[in-house]
Structures are given as C-alpha cells and as structure tokens.
Structure 1
C-alpha cells in the first residue's frame, strides 16, 4: 500500500518520462507483468515487451503529455490523472484514420493529434505500476496544426 503522495508522484512520473523520451525509464516504473489498455476497449496488452512497443510508438511520434492534477484513491493502490497529449500524425495517425477516429489530413507531416484522456493506474506494494488504463474515445481526439500543437506543446 502506497501513501497518496507516492501514488500521485508515480502517475506524474509516467508523463515526465514520456516527455523525456525515456522508454527504459518509463518501463522501470512498471511491473514486468504489467497489464495495460490504451484506449480502454481496444484490448488489453501485457508485459514489458508490449509496453515497450507502445511507448516507443509514442516517443517516435514526439508525444508530449501535459498532466492535470492527479487524484489518489484511499485504497493505497489507485491513482488517476487527466492528460492532454499531442503527437505527430505520422506514423500512428493513419491507423486512427482507418478506424474512422480522425479524418485524413491534407498534409500528414504538418499535423499533430491531440488526445484528452484519463489515465488510471494500479500500483503494487512494491511501488511498481501493475495496471494502466487510458480512457479516451473518438470525440477526445482531434487534429491540430504542428505550429499550434508543436512538439513542445
């Protein structure tokens, strides 16, 4: 069981390591048996190898996560934080376009995607994240010009 402050710090550290493009540091926050779903409804994945591939995709897309104020549950295991993330449309955006989430942009290289989502984690007694779920739907994703939602947004 973790103190509320530790849970809040853990979930914020996730966003810091994404912003630092530190995939290995991000993985260090997670249990090797982590179960994650991003977005919820897309199917759960498990383990460091799957998380590494997922995080590498975000880093390759120049993801920037701006976290809101985290909250922690009284159970000593769960925390949640609202996040606004931007990332380049390429290389991952065409998948969202094929699924009808986003329209195809006229200039894929000049576009970024903006996601508004809620990240929820469950940590184990060892302080590692055992489960992460990202809640977002089609109405929570939009295209933004790279100049407006720049790589350091």
Structure 2
C-alpha cells in the first residue's frame, strides 16, 4: 500500500500542475492504465481522454483552490475537496465545486480518479477574475 504522505503529495502536485497549466505533468501522476470517472455517473475516461481533458483545462485557464488539505485514508485512497475555475470557449468563467477521490498503486501513481460534483455544483464564477 502506498504511504499516506506520498498520496497526499501526489494530490498536491495535481493541484500545482493544474494551476501551472502543465497537462503533461498531470498525466504523469497517473498509472498507464488509470481510469477517470469525472463526474461520477458519466462514462469512464481512459488515458487518451484524460490527456485531452488536461490539455483543455490548461487551454481554458483552469485554476484549483483547495478547500482544505488533501485527506488520506486507512487504505490506498486519498481525496481533495476544491473549487475549480475555468473559461471554456464561448462561455463565461465557470466554477465547479468538486471532491476527487483517488486510488493509488504501490508506486504512488493514481489508478482511479472519481470526481464528485453534480449539476447544482456548477455555476458562473461569481469572482471577477483577470487570470
């Protein structure tokens, strides 16, 4: 089982790399066969789809603000609660309030990411941003 500090550090790196617009760095945090269900209830994304999602996030100026520090578990999972802001083409800047739960392998790579947010967790960003 991966160390709790390793998992928490990986989730902090996920935030930092998102905020730096580092799509390749984000993908490097994931095992080659990792899957993503974001949001939960939508089709599972494989590596190529995840890479495109990360590139889109970088292009849309995605910015994550943690609600608190990464949280561990008594197993191979850790989680982060956060707000993410981004501006898709032809849209105002959006805000999604999310909780991501990740499972890790022995090497500390993410094997599964499940994003918990629903329609009521998406809104136009009330903060005027010059990012």
TM-score (norm 2): 0.92
Q: Deviations over 1:130-152 (max 9, x none)?
A: 0011110011111025xx24254
Cα distance between partner residues in 2 of 1:139 and 1:82: 16
The verdict on how the C-alpha distance between 1:56 and 1:142 changes in structure 2, with shifts beyond 3 A counting, is same
**Is the counterpart of residue 119 in structure 1 residue 100 in structure 2?**
yes
Question: Which residue number in structure 1 is paired with residue 69 of structure 2?
Answer: 69
Q: Deviations over 1:32-81 (max 9, x none)?
A: 1110011111111112x111101111111100001222111111x10011
Question: Which residue number in structure 2 is paired with residue 98 of structure 1?
Answer: none
Cα distance between partner residues in 1 of 2:45 and 2:26: 16
Cα distance between partner residues in 2 of 1:126 and 1:41: 28
**Is the counterpart of residue 141 in structure 1 residue 122 in structure 2?**
yes
Offset at 1:29? 0.6
Cα distance between partner residues in 1 of 2:65 and 2:125: 16
**SS in structure 1 of the partner of residue 125 of structure 2:** strand
Structure 1: stretches of 5+ with no match in the other structure: 95-107
Cα distance between partner residues in 2 of 1:3 and 1:127: 8
Cα distance between partner residues in 2 of 1:5 and 1:38: 24
Question: Which residue number in structure 1 is paired with residue 86 of structure 2?
Answer: 87
TM-score (norm 1): 0.79
Question: Which residue number in structure 1 is paired with residue 9 of structure 2?
Answer: 9
1:128 to 90, 94, 109: 109
Q: CA RMSD in A?
A: 1.4
Question: Which residue number in structure 2 is paired with residue 18 of structure 1?
Answer: 18
